[in-house]
Amino acid sequence: MPVLVMKFGGTSVATLDRIRRAAKRVGVEVAKGYDVIVIVSAMAGKTNELVGWVGETSKFYDAREYDAVVSSGENVTAGLMALTLQEMDVPARSWQGWQVPLRTNSAHSSARIEEIPTENIAGKFAEGMKVAVVAGFQGVSPEGRITTLGRGGSDTTAVAFAAAFGAERCDIYTDVDGVYTTDPRVSGKARKLDRIAFEEMLELASLGAKVLQTRSVELAMRFGVRLRVLSSFEEQSDEAGTIVCAEEDIMENRPVSGIAYSREEAKMTLISVADRPGIAAAIFGPLAEAGINVDMIVQNISEEGRTDMTFSCPVDQVARADKALNAAKDRGDINFHDLVADTDVAKVSAVGIGMRSQSGVAAQMFKTLSDEGINIKVIATSEIKISVLIDRKYMELAVQALHDAFELEKA
């Protein structure tokens, strides 16, 4: 039988009624002749609650115990989905990560998938099971400990299963009916895209778009997984949603395809660091060891023989970054006059594969922000994206202005 992977996000399984609705969608695909692997997230809000409890217990928590706690939300959803399908006379069974087993490395709270053996689930399909309901976001380390794949990791679980089982496609069900030119909650002019290139989706996901986790898009691009993003609250049809595909499958490349933003950013500056070979490694090595996700980096000459080093990171990692850098200073690895954190900034980005062949995008973006009186603190670019760090209070204005400037509401 052909295999179909269906992933349901937290809002799609937030209540028993929504789980029943999702189960009916699964039943439709089973009736078409598919063996279905359903990947489920925790019920909406549950993971945040569990993470909050961990944070209240310990500021610098043991990541192994963090994984043990926060992975439990998906287990509940998987069991409830399997029970609901059984009540519909659909042969279904729930699977936790260790039961598959979905094997990962030992990087707790941000584990990487290393292997998904297909024998156990394939054997149950052969015995008559029609739906395997797998708890997303989780796996098992070589030491036999529960691991988690990072926030949004159920998307990665879904794509990885689609690749491992050679699924016909991977459908990602969420609370929006596809990928939009920007967040519809910020701009009423946001438009749903019928198709978007893997590279564009990868940039949008990494820059703050919440539709798909970055690693899930990386996997889909690497293994050629046919990926579709659609709403669990809209009518089912083969044309619904947005197809994430190869660049050559898109008819025309616009200069900019979407505007992304990340509200929870911080800017950290090391003031008066020695300007010498190896200083960057001395700074960013300890940050990497502490698991700090550094994004934008700017180095300025402040005085002879000294420099200021600025970087951005998620605002919830500021305390860890501060601890890591001051520990390096205490060891004598680096020396700086002061460490200043600005936790009231946001990142806004323009993304489009058309930037490769069309000039003037940066100039238009900077002029648009200038016309709105928005000061740019940091700039970072790649072949298909331009990102700026600005005061958080101007974030929504910047998104709306850029969406208008690049006329993204037009098909």
Go through the domains of the chain in sequence order and give each one's CATH number: 3-175 (3.40.1160.10), 259-405 (3.30.2130.10)
b/e string for 194-209 if b means 16 or more Cβ within 10 A? ebbbbbbbbbbbbbbb
Residue type for 106, please? Answer: S
Question: Is 195 labelled as part of a ligand binding site?
Answer: no
**pLDDT at site 152:** 82
Give dist(CA 342, CA 389) in Å, integer. 11
Among candidate residues 158, 207, 169, 183, the one with its CA nearest the CA of residue 41: 158
**pLDDT at site 252:** 67
Sites in the chain below the pLDDT cut of 50: none
Question: Is 211 labelled as part of a ligand binding site?
Answer: yes
b/e string for 68-93 if b means 16 or more Cβ within 10 A? bbbbbbbbbbbbbbbebbeeeebebb
Estimate to the nearest angstrom the gap between the alpha carbon of 353 and the chain centroid: 20
- 8 Å CB contact between 155 and 149: no
Question: Is 267 labelled as part of a ligand binding site?
Answer: no
Question: Is 10 labelled as part of a ligand binding site?
Answer: yes
Give dist(CA 31, CA 202) in Å, integer. 33
- Token reading at 47: 């993971």
**pLDDT at site 3:** 97
**pLDDT at site 185:** 86
**pLDDT at site 276:** 86
Question: Is 372 labelled as part of a ligand binding site?
Answer: no
Question: Is 210 labelled as part of a ligand binding site?
Answer: yes
Give dist(CA 142, CA 105) in Å, integer. 7
DSSP annotation string for 212-255: S-HHHHHHHHHHT--EEEEETTSPP-TT-SEEEE-GGG-S---S
Give dist(CA 192, CA 242) in Å, integer. 8
**pLDDT at site 302:** 64
The residue to which tokens 């089973």 are assigned: 30
Question: Is 32 labelled as part of a ligand binding site?
Answer: no
Question: Is 242 labelled as part of a ligand binding site?
Answer: no
In 239-376, where do the E strands start and end?
Answer: 242-245, 258-274, 297-303, 306-314, 338-351
